[in-house]
Structure 1
């Protein structure tokens, strides 16, 4: 785990903290909801839950991850995406983690310097019938000139990334 150093980008850049937990999602943002079956059983749930909570699924999908501690509210995270000079780093902060035995994961909010403002939750759930689900829920809007310029492409890219994470989470969960 690569540690973060103080960057001066420690302020959340949106007012609706925790809204991915307490729905409905706020108005004035693009909304994302992606839910997919990962597998079945407690072992798959525990493996998938660890992969999400420890950012292993993000790393497996090609993202760089730096964090200042284990996933918990207040922990700063920086995710980097892209290739070479097109790689961007997006500063976030963990807002909440589930407090139920059948849910694992976290939600993070965007900090100053992120190209979007909003929140995104990555959750693994064990249903009563033993089905394991992966759910990504987000609300966001542009925070920079280039994300405003990209307009409707950004939500499409976000959905694509959620699906990409799902594919990698299935592989990680199947390996045990």
Structure 2
């Protein structure tokens, strides 16, 4: 079942709430779609789904995560990226979640103060042949002077981070 937060009071920094649930992604943003094979079977799917929705996948990359619990629609999350004086904390809000027999994951949207403007989803799927896939789908554009200055470097960093998430998720699922 997919849950989408109804419109109402929010400080999301973009108008396209929930757009990672549908195609095509909104125009005017950089689009990211990355898919990684995680493993095979129900056990790998359940371990990967738990690691995604419990933010263990993010933490495995070295990111810090401030959240009150697993991903839940409407929950606020802060992700800390980088090191030392280059470390930034990015505020987000979970805009949808899914917990189905063959799909698990969530998307968060950027809040005011995030260096980017947009949404990113993290989805684990169990295919009919037993293969477990992890997908990152995102749309974003710069919202801070330094991300505008970085220009085409930002999408490269985002793609690299999506690959890193997939790598760590594969390890977390295999260890379970």
- Name the TM-score class by shorter chain: over 0.9
Distance 2:22 2:54 in 1: 23
Query: What corresponds to 2:16 in structure 1?
Result: 16
* Coordinate RMSD, CA, aligned: 0.9
Contact 2:55 2:70 in 1 (8 A): no
SS of equivalent to 1:133: strand
Query: What corresponds to 2:60 in structure 1?
Result: 60
Distance 1:24 1:123 in 2: 17
Q: Which runs of 5+ in 1 are unaligned?
A: 1-9
SS of equivalent to 2:21: coil
* 1:39-68 deviation digits (Å, cap 9, x = unpaired): 000000000000000000100010000013
Query: What corresponds to 1:74 in structure 2?
Result: 74
Tell me by how many angstroms 1:72 deviates: 1.1
Distance 1:12 1:142 in 2: 14
More divergent stretch after superposition (61-70 vs 137-146): 61-70
Query: What corresponds to 1:95 in structure 2?
Result: 95
Aligned length: 167
The runs of at least 4 consecutive aligned structure 1 residues that moved more than 4 Å come to none
Tell me by how many angstroms 1:75 deviates: 0.3
Residues 1:126 and 2:123 are matched in the alignment: no
